Amino acid sequence: MYLTREEEELLNKPGCDVCMKLLLSVGRVFDAKRMVKVHSVHISGISYQNIGEAGLEWIENLSKIVKFRISATVNPAGMDLRRWKEMNIDEEFYHKQLRILRALKKMGARLEMCCTPYYFNEVGYGDTLAWAESNAVVYANSILGARTNRESGITAIASAVTGLTPEYGMHLKENRVPDIRVKIDLSEGDAAIAGCEIGRLECNLPYIVSKKKLEESEMKAMGAAMAATGGKTMFHVENQTPEWNVYSKPEERVAIGREELREAREENFPTEVPDIVAIGCPHASSMEILKIAEFARYKFVIPVWVFTCRRNLTNSTVKLAVEKIEKAGGKVFCDTCMVVSPATERFSKVMVDSGKALTYLPKLRGVKAFFGSLKECMEVATGRLVI
Ligand code: F3S
């Protein structure tokens, strides 16, 4: 793999050497020819619940010897930093999580603790990124036309330290060519479940032809779901996403119709009353919070937890919406989410409107997950839809 003199020098700097060697090994595995400079980094896997003692030690040790060279944001942690007691997080977990965050901050990370960095990072078409959060990776590649592989927390940190990433995978034009045409016909609230179905297709990169124009929130939900069920890192939507017309169209075709989606929704709809309704995977945007607040004119009879980025709460309209949700009996938590926090484990049945949470909650938190559209989730939560 070709390295410039400046890049070679990084191999001799304490701390940088480990990161550079790591990126070189990844590059060699994927046959990268060179390193490329990255515009921004997003680090996932920072919840103490996920990385435990070994991860905490690794980050703390690294923070004693290196600083990040470029802008790096971080994913949700294991708790709301201000309301962790309300989440039933124990003191020991709280302190361990704080140590991880302090170490990341010491290296130069921006502690956004949010999984939608595409809403607040300046990302341009064609920008090279090293992002590690599957929903953000799909969003950046597909909707913004930026270029990033699905990094791990460790390779993202290595990129923040060196400012580099090996050039392979989604950084190369030839790997952004769609290989299957997927015709979809969505009804309201179908996007996440459609994403789950598309993720399961045996293909690398779907070219989606939608009967109706997809909203941004639908593409966000769909991308997060297909990354969870099938590890997809990008999709094109005809006439909508920035690279839809750049590559040749795939020969292979498949259709996912209304009937199929209805069946998939029915299969995942609650068969028992959920203990909690959890919304905000990926983190709810300001617009999504306003939408949730519309349902809060009734009292919640089942607890509702909403997860979002703390920076959203600085907006006065969003603040009012949050007050409304909390007045109805819900809780709006920041810095964390239902999947990476151990708090979810005290429930046994969770209803979500997210294909990603539906996929990961049983595996990572050991809880039963049910799916409904946002409207259905809220109707169940307010007791207007009885299971
Ligand atoms: Fe974000 Fe947590 Fe879902 S990090 S995408 S809310 S699993």
- The residue assigned the tokens 């609650």 is 270
| Minimum CA distance residue for ligand 1 atom 7 | 339
Q: How far is the CA of 343 from the centre of ligand 1 (A)?
A: 14
Instruction: Identify the pLDDT of residue 357.
Output: 98
Q: How far is the CA of 377 from the centre of ligand 1 (A)?
A: 18
pLDDT at 81 over 90: yes
CA–CA gap between residue 82 and residue 70 (Å, rounded) = 28
Architecture of domain 5-173: 2-Layer Sandwich (3.30)
Q: Given this model, what pLDDT does residue 71 score?
A: 87
pLDDT confidence of residue 319? 97
Average pLDDT rounded to a whole number, residues 355-368: 97
* pLDDT higher than 90, residue 79: yes
Torsion 72-122-135-29 (CA) sign: negative
Give mean pLDDT, residues 341-346: 96
Tokens matching residue 13: 């700097």
Shortest-distance Cα residue to atom 1 of ligand 1: 282
What tokens were used for 99?
Answer: 């140590």
All residues at 6 or more sequence positions from 238 whose CB lies less than 8 Å from its CB, including other chains: 207, 208, 209, 210, 244
The domains of the chain are located at 5-173, 177-265, 269-381
Q: What is the distance between the alpha carbons of residues 131 and 368, in angstroms, rounded to a whole number? A: 29
Confidence of residue 386 (pLDDT cuts 50, 70, 90): confident
pLDDT of residue 218: 97
Q: How far is the CA of 76 from the centre of ligand 1 (A)?
A: 7
Our answer on whether the CB atom of 279 is closer than 6 Å to any ligand 1 atom is no
Residue 171 main-chain phi, psi, to 5 deg: -80, -15
Give the confidence band of 387 by pLDDT, cuts at 50, 70, 90.
Answer: confident
Same fold, 5-173 and 269-381: yes
From ligand 1's centre to the CA of 348, what distance in Å? 19
340 within ligand 1 shell (Cβ under 6 A):
yes
Fold type of domain 269-381: Aconitase; domain 3 (3.30.499)
Q: Which of helix, strand or coil describes residue 283?
A: strand
| Residue 337 Cβ contacting ligand 1 at under 6 Å | yes
> Is the per-residue pLDDT at 316 higher than 90?
yes
Mean pLDDT over each residue of the chain, to the nearest integer: 97
Nearest alpha carbon, ligand 1 atom 5: 282
Tens digits of residue pLDDT in 89-132 = 999 999 999 999 999 999 999 999 999 999 999 999 999 999 99
Q: Is the pLDDT reported for residue 152 higher than 90?
A: yes
Q: Is 113 in the pocket of ligand 1 (CB under 6 A)?
A: no
SS3 120: coil
Each residue's pLDDT tens digit, 183-240:
999 999 999 999 999 999 999 999 999 999 999 999 999 999 999 999 999 999 999 9
Separation in Å, CA 289 to CA 219, 275, 332, 374, 375: 17, 21, 9, 11, 13
Percentage above 90 pLDDT, the chain? 99
Task: Say yes or no: CB of residue 261 within 6 Å of ligand 1.
Answer: no
Look at residue 80 and tell me whether its pLDDT is greater than 90. Answer: yes
Say if CB 244 and CB 237 are below 8 A apart: yes
Structure tokens at 94: 């709280």
Q: Which of 47, 308, 356 most suits a substitution to test ligand 1, by most atoms within 8 Å of the C-beta? A: 356
pTM as predicted = 0.97
Predicted confidence at residue 189, as pLDDT, reads 94
- pLDDT more than 70, % of the chain: 100
